[in-house]
């Protein structure tokens, strides 16, 4: 008898995770279609929401970073070190010297765009109000290569510093509202020149822009370098800022160290140095989405455990019978585990696919948050228009989390099945 029992146990132990056990587990899921359908629906909705929300958050952060780079920071900026300390008009450098050094310091096959600017702080006034702003004195065509501000000027709100207006100035919609001015209105910019004397210049509003960053809009205006330069008292070719735009944000990590080494007597800052919070957003977004999905799956796991536990208790006699005819506890454990894992994976995969479909449908058109929050996000530097995005790493991470949730959720119901004694279970009605 002992030999027969050992042989029987040896044979039954080989059934663990075999196609037969897997097939039986899959059929067991659909024995109670309503119960399985309810938990599947919860898993699908949870994973759909989690996948889309992860893509939404990633798109929001990446979009905010890209918008800020394209409008105000560019990828790299070069300044006189004293200018960074106090924005003194006398803390300038000579454009020709820096331009030549940039061209010789950068790897030949990397394409860069550089724009030079004057940066003058002063007071912008209309007959109704006055505001402190920074006026950027730019070369127009050069500036268009490193910033997208000109693209944020609606057709009915003028153009970016064209020659059809004498002394044109481009201001933001926020500044226009506060000064109570409109296109072609006359405003005066007052600033201190290199000799400490106050200079006032009259400008005509030639364009009104509106970016996705309200803080930037409130503080910056654009004028032509040639219009304002003679009032500064600066020497020829003097500028305060060199803004460098690269083909891709990833290249910044290559170029930035080269320029910092070449300009050791200057302040060379990449976009992460200029705004450390943006760099932190990039680093933390993947962690945030993982935590978010973990919370979703943690909540779902209670529903999965409850469903499978009910299934085990309802099948007490059946599981007892399987034990009585020779199925080992190891195989029973494997069957319950597979039922739970199949249920979680099946619902999870459908949820992920639906989440990807919704993400793909909104990647180009975007999600406009202004309908319920107005410009509140933009006032804090976040875009109110979000374009969700995802990548392969994100999908792999979600699948791994789903599998982990399925395995962990299966352990308790499967252990509960192991505690059933065959004869006692068969006697229950």
Q: How would DSSP label each residue in 239-275?
A: ESEEEEEES-GGGHHHHHHHHHHHTTTSEEEEHHHH-
Percent of the chain with pLDDT strictly greater than 90: 35
Confidence of residue 380 (pLDDT cuts 50, 70, 90): low
- Cα distances (Å, whole numbers) of residue 41 to 36, 50, 304, 405: 8, 14, 11, 16
Residue 71 resides in a domain: no
Q: Do 240 and 104 share a structural domain?
A: yes
Q: Do 160 and 31 share a structural domain?
A: no
Q: Do 132 and 52 share a structural domain?
A: no
- Cα distances (Å, whole numbers) of residue 405 to 104, 289, 302, 351: 55, 16, 10, 14
Q: Do 261 and 312 share a structural domain?
A: no
Residue 357 resides in a domain: yes
Q: Which residues pair with 386 in a beta bridge?
A: 367
Q: Do 107 and 61 share a structural domain?
A: no
Residue 150 resides in a domain: yes
Residue 113 resides in a domain: yes
What is the gyration radius of the CA atoms in the chain, in angstroms? 33
pTM, entire model: 0.75
Q: Do 382 and 338 share a structural domain?
A: yes
Q: Do 114 and 42 share a structural domain?
A: no
Q: Write out pLDDT tens, residues 167-201.
A: 999 999 999 999 999 999 999 999 999 999 999 99
Q: Do 181 and 294 share a structural domain?
A: no
Q: Do 337 and 221 share a structural domain?
A: no
Q: Which residues pair with 244 in a beta bridge?
A: 76, 114
Residue 325 resides in a domain: yes
Residue 214 resides in a domain: yes
- Considering its fold, how many domains does the chain have in total? 2
Q: Do 422 and 396 share a structural domain?
A: yes
Q: Do 285 and 226 share a structural domain?
A: no
Residue 110 resides in a domain: yes
Confidence of residue 58 (pLDDT cuts 50, 70, 90): confident
Structural domain for 134, as ranges = 81-265
List of residues 6+ apart from 173 with CB closer than 8 A: 157, 208, 209, 210, 217
Q: Do 20 and 130 share a structural domain?
A: no
| Lowest-pLDDT range of 81-85, 230-234, 239-243 | 81-85
Examine the fold and report which residue of 265, 297, 331 is the final residue of a domain before the chain moves on.
265
């Amino acid at each position: 008898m002992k030999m027969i029992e050992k042989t029987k146990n040896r044979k039954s132990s080989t059934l663990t995770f075999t196609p037969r056990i897997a097939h039986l587990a899959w059929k067991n899921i659909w024995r109670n279609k309503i119960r399985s359908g309810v938990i599947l629906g919860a898993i699908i909705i949870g994973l759909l929401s989690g996948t889309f929300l992860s893509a939404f958050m990633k798109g929001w952060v990446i979009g905010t970073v890209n918008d800020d780079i394209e409008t105000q920071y560019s990828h790299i900026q070069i300044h006189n070190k004293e200018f960074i300390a106090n924005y003194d008009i006398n803390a300038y450098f000579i454009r020709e010297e820096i331009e030549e050094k940039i061209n010789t310091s950068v790897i030949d096959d990397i394409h860069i765009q550089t724009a030079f600017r004057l940066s003058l702080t002063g007071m912008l006034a209309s007959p109704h109000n006055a505001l402190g702003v920074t006026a950027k004195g730019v070369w127009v065509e050069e500036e268009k290569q490193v910033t997208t501000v000109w693209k944020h000027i609606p057709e009915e709100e003028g153009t970016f510093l064209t020659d059809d207006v004498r002394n044109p100035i481009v201001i933001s919609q926020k500044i226009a509202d506060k000064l109570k001015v409109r296109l072609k209105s006359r405003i005066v910019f007052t600033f201190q020149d290199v000799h400490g004397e106050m200079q006032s210049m009259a400008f005509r509003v030639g364009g009104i822009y509106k970016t996705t960053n309200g803080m930037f809009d409130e503080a910056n205006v654009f004028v032509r370098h040639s219009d304002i330069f003679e009032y500064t008292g600066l020497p020829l070719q003097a500028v305060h800022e060199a803004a460098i735009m690269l083909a891709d944000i990833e290249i910044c990590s290559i170029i930035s160290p080269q320029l910092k080494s070449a300009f050791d007597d200057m302040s060379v800052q990449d976009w992460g140095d200029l705004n450390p919070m943006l760099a932190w957003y990039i680093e933390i977004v993947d962690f945030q989405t993982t935590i978010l999905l973990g919370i979703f799956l943690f909540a779902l796991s209670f529903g999965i455990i409850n469903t499978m536990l009910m299934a085990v208790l309802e099948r007490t006699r059946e599981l007892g019978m399987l034990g009585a005819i020779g199925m080992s506890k190891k195989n029973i454990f494997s069957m319950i585990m597979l039922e739970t894992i199949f249920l979680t994976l099946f619902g999870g995969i459908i949820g992920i696919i639906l989440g990807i479909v919704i993400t793909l449908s909104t990647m180009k058109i975007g999600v406009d948050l202004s309908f319920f929050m107005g410009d509140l996000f933009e006032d804090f530097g976040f875009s109110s228009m979000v374009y969700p995005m995802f990548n392969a790493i994100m999908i792999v991470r979600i699948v791994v989390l789903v599998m982990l949730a399925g395995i962990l959720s299966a352990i308790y119901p499967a252990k509960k099945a192991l505690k059933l004694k065959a004869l006692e279970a068969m006697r229950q009605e």
